[in-house]
Amino acid sequence: MAFGVTSLTFIALFSPFLAALLAPPLVGRLGVKAAWLLALIPAFAFVHFLGFLPEIAAGEVVTGGYVWVPSFNLSFSWFIDGLSLTFALLITGIGTLIVLYAGGYMAGHPQQGRFLAFLFLFMGAMLGVVVSDSLMMLFVYWELTSITSFLLIGFDHEREASRRAALQALVVTGGGGLALLAGLIFIWNMSGTTQLSLLVHGGDVLRQSPFYFAALLLVLGGAFTKSAQFPFHFWLPNAMEAPTPVSAYLHSATMVKAGVYLLMRLNPVLGDTAAWQILLPFFGGLTMLIGALMAIRQTDLKLMLAYTTVSSLGLLVMLIGFGSEHALEAAVLYLVAHSLFKGALFMIAGIIDHETGTRDVCQLGGLRKAMPITFVAALAAALSMAGLPPFLGFLAKEEIYYALAHANPRAILFTGVAVIGNALMLAIALAVGLKPFIGITPRTPKMAHEAPVLLWLGPAVLALSGLLAAVFSSSFHSAVSTPMATAIADEPRMVDISLVPHVGVPLALSLFTIGLGIMIFTMLGTARSLMDRTLRAIGPGPDKVFDTFISALVRISFVLTRVLQPGRLEFYITATCAMIALALLVPLFV
């Protein structure tokens, strides 16, 4: 690569951190107008990465970087192929819209500058995760996403619920990060390489190692906690305590997909084994059902979307591990479609809350006349989430059924899981994107009116993108879907699904899903009551287990501190001398 391109890539990767420094003073001086200026920084990164599309579509990869610690073979280096480029475009593209949205949503907030600084820090960390070539740099950025998400989730730190949600997310994802570190060390020792660009072409070097299963479990520990897979799913809905721009960015399009990215990235060297094809579909399918069923119980728009995000992440993990010919292509399409429609719907939930004063779907209705632009964007995003044409979500759903629908018991089981989960998500999509805008307008805390352009611009662009990607599917596949699927499979893969559906079983399954989803939507109140009674009968879930664990940990720490720190000097001297004696004598005997 030319020096200029390398330098520009370096600048693009570090530009969010520069924006984090500039955000507080600019907001203090310019107020709401600062959002337009700050959004130029991720927009620059987006345009820069967009320039790699022709090269990546032609089958090339982009690498570069700088030596960091040569004695340990560590470097600050990047590896951009179809997978990492797609994620980089989502992070910077949606990030640009989120910065504008946050400028309108947080207008007048005394800490808006601090909030945008945290948002940019997260953006830089997430960008580092998906383009890092070095295993060590991937881990550093991975943990930085946990730290910055802690700051964003706990932004309203005066509220106990925000503090609890932030701590819970940090403990769960941070603990998973430690497991990932151990897994990466295993991979380093098993393969002898620290560069992902070399590792993904390593063939069976990891699968043939006696430590393969240990490395797999550790990597899954990191991926499952970050991407909210059962039984670690509970932290994501609780993270809805964060301001809505955080939910729309971190918890739909970026951070929660870091685990999915890791599984996709390591698929060429960890996938295609019995353990991979058992663990991922099992936990992914279970997560999909749990998330969709829990979403039915909710009435808060953000919680409904949060639980369907859990469900969608489960679907992605299930597809990655399923092992059929077209499962990876289906995962690629659904990942992009989900980022577009869920980011839009989260922002729309924030608009509704901002303009009406409530997110309770039971108190909303008839908003389409007062909020026509928001209604059109919401309907388009909801139709994509429901898997209806002519949106990218429809192409993804068709490809999912085409990949899963086979005549063996395993395929039939997971096809059934996908149908039930998609039908439930269709019902939630209509409840979030349609119900608040139709019917009679109830009395809400605030008189509804159309949101300012900073708020509706983001969801409108994302909804339109989902439409254009489906209508011009051939161009979209050649630029995005095919290179991404090829990178995940480490072999040429062609994605060619269009708005003309797969005739046969996949189309029949789609029609059945639509019918079942509409039926659930018409009986949503009954289904909500049934789920509520069922969950109450089951009893406490993982969320309560987490509270019990933290309480026990605090009590054990208190007792241990009282034993080890009694405040007596002679105890400290005795303990120190005993440890020195053991350190000197034990090796002699051993």
Q: What is the 3-state secondary structure (H, E, C) of 523-570?
A: CHHHHHHHHHHHHHHHCCCHHHHHHHHHHHHHHHHHHHHHHHCCCCHH
Mean pLDDT (the chain, rounded): 90
Residues above pLDDT 90, as percent of the chain? 63
pLDDT score at 286:
95
Q: What average pLDDT score do residues 457-470 get? A: 95
- Tens of pLDDT along 504-514? 888 999 999 99
pLDDT of residue 5 exceeding 70, the answer is: no
- Note the pLDDT of residue 271: 87
Residue with tokens 């060297």: 269
Q: E strand or H helix at 97, and its extent?
A: helix 82-105
More confident residue, 564 or 173: 173
pLDDT over 70 at 3, yes or no: no
Taking the C-alpha atoms of residue 514 and residue 531, their distance in angstroms, rounded to an integer, is 21
**Percent of the chain whose pLDDT exceeds 70:** 99
pLDDT band (50, 70, 90) for residue 192: confident
Question: What's the pLDDT score for residue 391?
Answer: 94
C-alpha neighbours within 13 Å on the C-beta side of residue 488? 32
The number of beta carbons lying within 10 Å of the beta carbon of residue 527 is 18
pLDDT at 68 over 80: no
Q: Which of 99, 148, 155 is nearest to 121 (CA)?
A: 148
SS3 for 285-315, per residue?
HHHHHHHHHHHHHCCEHHHHHHHHHHHHHHH
Could you report the per-residue pLDDT of 303-327, keeping only the tens digit for each?
999 999 999 999 999 999 998 878 9
For residue 192, CA distances in Å to 180, 184, 205, 216 come to 17, 11, 10, 17
Q: Strand pairing partners for 132?
A: 78
- DSSP-assigned states of every residue in 435-467: GGGSS-----SS---PPPHHHHHHHHHHHHHHH
Structure tokens at 202: 């390593």
Reported confidence tier of residue 1, pLDDT bands at 50, 70, 90: very low
* Residues 6+ away with beta carbon under 8 Å from 460: 344, 373, 376, 377
**One-letter identity of residue 65:** G
The tens digit of pLDDT for each residue in 373-405 reads 999 999 999 999 999 989 999 999 999 999 998
State the residue for tokens 């500039």.
22
Note the pLDDT of residue 442: 75
The predicted pLDDT at position 245 comes to: 92
Average pLDDT value for residue range 533-556: 85
| Selected residue with higher pLDDT from 349 and 443 | 349
The pLDDT value recorded for residue 448 is 80
Per-residue pLDDT tens over the stretch 473-494: 999 999 999 999 999 998 889 9
Q: pLDDT at position 2, please?
A: 41
Q: Each residue of 241-296: pLDDT tens digit?
A: 889 999 999 887 788 999 999 999 999 999 889 999 999 999 999 999 999 999 99
Over the stretch 137-180, which tens digit does the pLDDT of each residue have? 999 999 999 999 999 999 988 889 899 999 999 999 999 999 99
Rounded to whole angstroms, the Cα distance separating 271 from 269 reads 6
The mean pLDDT of 63-82, rounded to a whole number, is 81
CB neighbourhood size of 323 (10 A) = 19
- H or E element, residue 69: strand 62-69
